[in-house]
Structure 1
Amino acid sequence: MEIMKICLSDVCDVRSGFTARGRLEEEADGVPVLQLRDVTDSAAIDPSLLMRSKFRGSVERYLAGAGDVVFRSRGERNIAARLDSRFVEPAVAVLPILILRPKVRILPEYLVWAINQPEAQRHFDADARGATIRMIPKASIESLELEVPDVATQKMVVEIDTLSRREAELTMELIDKRRRLVAQCIQSRIRNAPDNGKQGRK
């Protein structure tokens, strides 16, 4: 298996998001908007949950759609998320969101996985700017060194990661159900227990 070490800028176009001069107003007949709050630890973003707004002038260069990856360049968690096939209508990415558009031999899902790994996060830690609000310069994400195997291996890594995430979700669900079951059992014992205090007074 051949693994190449490549700078992210060699396999992706990196674009800055739209600079909003003021507060974006929600308008039902506007276009979808990708904001910082929309990029979470989830593997994919649900376009139906995005707010819609209108913009003056052309925003074509800030559009992100299916197959693109978006990156949080501000905040404590500098993570990436992919835009999947549900993004039939592209969304306007607003700074501090960066748009990463894979060019060659790297899957969007693998790119997200690689960016969110501890090694990449340490790279961002070293380059972070800002005393109060943590910011990652565009140059930092562009210079991030990635280990890029063949596409088949990338698919395998993504599949294993997806299964691992699902296992973690099921484990948490099991723990929660077990906790609730124990609580129900305790409550049942309390309700059915003899009133020892009253028995003692007879």
Structure 2
Amino acid sequence: MQLKQIATISAGYPFRGKILESAGTGVVAVQMKDVSEREGIQWSGCMETELTGKREPDWLKPGDILVAARGGHNYAALITDQLLQAGTRAVAAPQFFIVRSKQDNVLPEYLVWFLNQQPCQRYFEQNAEGSLTKSIRRTVAEEAPIAVPPLAKQQTIIGLARAVRQEQRIAEQLISNGERLQSSIAKDLLDNKEGY
């Protein structure tokens, strides 16, 4: 099955020129710097801006998926209810595709997970264009191969993915704590607090 069979794919908002900060507009632009595959969208870092393009904005909503169209890694990130908590309207920068599931039997969180897995990432890599900055065309995104298991299996996979992410966060925290401890020991030794 191809992505276009289960979702609509559209381009991000066509800003004319650079995205400039414009406080007080109540509109934010989600840019590449605001998104990571593992942590999703960092709404606090999104810049308020004025919409300079002629096209009517395609406001982001929970359940939408952003797929990075440019760069060496075409990761996907889910728009969650945090958008509503941020209390602003948001558009995606033109470096993203906006993917919206059009079927009830496909959970957006599962689709994000699948798009970030090796088979899809390899497909994007093999079909990317450009020498300095790689990018994928919309037709490439539309034709991405997608597997859609039953809803129960999708929910199981989502649960597994959440557990793995939590384990990664714990492991990173343990590593960070260990590094701070070693740094503190080295400083104490240097300050001769240990009396060696």
**TM above 0.5, one fold?**
yes
Q: CA RMSD in A?
A: 1.9
Q: Which residue number corresponds to residue 24 of structure 2?
A: 29
- Aligned-partner SS, 2:169: helix
Q: Which residue number corresponds to residue 45 of structure 2?
A: 49
8 Å CA contact 2:15–2:53 kept in 1: the answer is: no
8 Å CA contact 2:67–2:97 kept in 1: the answer is: yes
Alpha-carbon separation, structure 2, partners of 1:23 and 1:83: 23
Q: Which residue number corresponds to residue 146 of structure 1?
A: 146
Q: Which residue number corresponds to residue 68 of structure 1?
A: 64
Q: Structure 1, residues 39-79: CA drift from partner, whole Å, max 9, x if none?
A: 21234313333111112466545321111001100011110
Q: What residue ranges of structure 2 are gaps of 5+ in the alignment?
A: none
Alpha-carbon separation, structure 2, partners of 1:186 and 1:95: 47
Q: More deviation in 100-109 or 15-24?
A: 15-24
8 Å CA contact 2:35–2:42 kept in 1: the answer is: no
Q: Which TM-score applies when normalising by structure 1?
A: 0.85
How much does 1:166 deviate? Answer: 1.2
Aligned length: 189
Q: Structure 1, residues 27-47: CA drift from partner, whole Å, max 9, x if none?
A: 122211122222212343133
Computing the radius of gyration from Cα coordinates, the structure with the larger value is: 1
Alpha-carbon separation, structure 2, partners of 1:183 and 1:64: 44
Q: Structure 1, residues 53-111: CA drift from partner, whole Å, max 9, x if none?
A: 11246654532111100110001111010000122244111212110011111111111
Q: Which TM-score applies when normalising by structure 2?
A: 0.87
8 Å CA contact 2:14–2:55 kept in 1: the answer is: no
Correspondence 1:94 to 2:93: yes
How much does 1:11 deviate? Answer: 0.8
8 Å CA contact 1:43–1:82 kept in 2: the answer is: no
